[in-house]
C-alpha cells in the first residue's frame, strides 16, 4: 500500500508541473495576442511543439497477471525517437489478493500512426522482455529466478500538454498477462 501511495504522490507532482507549464504558456500566448492587437501588421505566432527525440514517462497501470483479479502497478519508460521510438520499460505490479508481485523489464518499439502530428496522436507499441514473479510468502518463484519471457502490444493516444509534456492513455494485451490499461505522464527533452 505504501508503494501505491508513493506512486500517487509522484504522479501528482508530475501532473502539477505539466499543468503549471500549460498555464504559463497560455499567459504568454495571451500577452502575444494583446501585443499584436495593438499593431495590426504583426500576427501571433502559434506555440511550437517540442520535437525533441528523447522522452520519458511514468504510468500508473493495471494488468491481469493474477487468476483472482487485476494487479496494480507503476511503470517507467525511457525512449528515443520521433515518429518511431525505441526504448526501455520497467514496471512493477502488486497483486493484493494472491500476494504475487511482478517485475517487468523489457524493450519496446513504438509507431505513431498519424503523419500530421509528429510525436503525438495514435500510437501502436510492441514490447517484450522478462517478467519476474515474486511471491511475498515464498520469495522468488521458479522459473522466475531467471525470468519468464513476456510480449505484447499497446495501443494508445499521446496528448501534448505544451511544448514538452504529454499524457498517454493506453490499453495493452499480451503474455503472460492477458490485458491491461494505464495512463502515462511524461516529458520530451
Over range 49-72, report the average pLDDT. Answer: 82
pLDDT tier for residue 56 given thresholds of 50, 70 and 90: very high
Strand spans (E) along 95-147: 100-112, 121-135, 139-140
pLDDT on residue 162: 87
- Inform me whether the pLDDT recorded for 11 exceeds 90: no
How far lies 106's CA from each of 19, 37, 187, in Å?
A: 30, 52, 20
Mean pLDDT of the chain: 77
- State the Cα–Cα distance between residues 18 and 84, nearest whole angstrom: 24
What is the per-residue pLDDT across 69-82, written as a single tens digit (0 to 9) for each?
Answer: 789 999 999 999 98
pLDDT on residue 43: 53
First to last CA, the chain: 32
Element (H, E) at 189: none
Architecture of domain 50-188: Beta Barrel (2.40)
What is the per-residue pLDDT across 27-53, written as a single tens digit (0 to 9) for each?
Answer: 454 444 444 455 545 454 554 544 568
CB-side exposure of 66: number of CA atoms within 13 Å?
19
Q: What percent of the chain has pLDDT over 90?
A: 41
What is the per-residue pLDDT across 131-141, written as a single tens digit (0 to 9) for each?
Answer: 988 877 666 55
pLDDT on residue 20: 46
Look up residue 65 and give its three cell numbers.
497477471
What is the per-residue pLDDT across 80-112, written as a single tens digit (0 to 9) for each?
Answer: 998 899 999 999 999 888 777 889 999 999 999
- Which of 24 and 188 is assigned the larger pLDDT? 188
- State the Cα–Cα distance between residues 182 and 180, nearest whole angstrom: 7
- State the Cα–Cα distance between residues 84 and 54, nearest whole angstrom: 12
Amino acid at each position: 500500500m505504501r508503494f501505491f501511495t508513493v506512486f500517487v504522490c509522484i504522479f501528482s507532482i508530475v501532473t502539477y508541473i505539466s499543468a503549471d507549464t500549460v498555464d504559463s504558456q497560455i499567459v504568454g500566448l495571451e500577452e502575444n495576442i494583446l501585443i499584436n492587437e495593438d499593431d495590426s501588421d504583426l500576427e501571433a505566432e502559434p506555440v511550437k511543439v517540442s520535437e525533441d527525440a528523447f522522452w520519458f514517462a511514468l504510468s500508473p497501470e493495471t494488468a491481469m497477471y493474477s487468476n483472482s483479479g487485476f494487479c496494480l502497478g507503476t511503470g517507467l519508460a525511457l525512449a528515443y525517437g520521433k515518429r518511431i521510438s525505441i526504448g526501455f520499460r520497467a514496471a512493477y505490479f502488486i497483486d493484493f489478493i494472491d500476494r504475487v508481485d511482478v517485475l517487468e523489464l523489457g524493450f519496446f518499439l513504438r509507431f505513431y500512426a498519424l503523419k500530421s502530428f509528429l510525436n503525438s496522436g495514435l500510437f501502436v507499441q510492441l514490447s517484450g522482455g522478462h517478467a519476474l514473479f515474486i511471491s511475498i510468502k515464498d520469495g522468488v518463484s521458479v522459473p522466475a529466478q531467471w525470468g519468464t519471457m513476456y510480449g505484447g502490444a499497446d495501443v494508445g493516444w499521446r496528448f501534448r500538454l505544451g511544448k514538452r509534456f504529454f499524457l498517454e492513455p493506453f490499453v495493452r494485451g499480451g503474455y503472460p498477462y492477458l490485458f491491461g490499461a494505464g495512463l502515462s505522464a511524461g516529458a520530451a527533452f
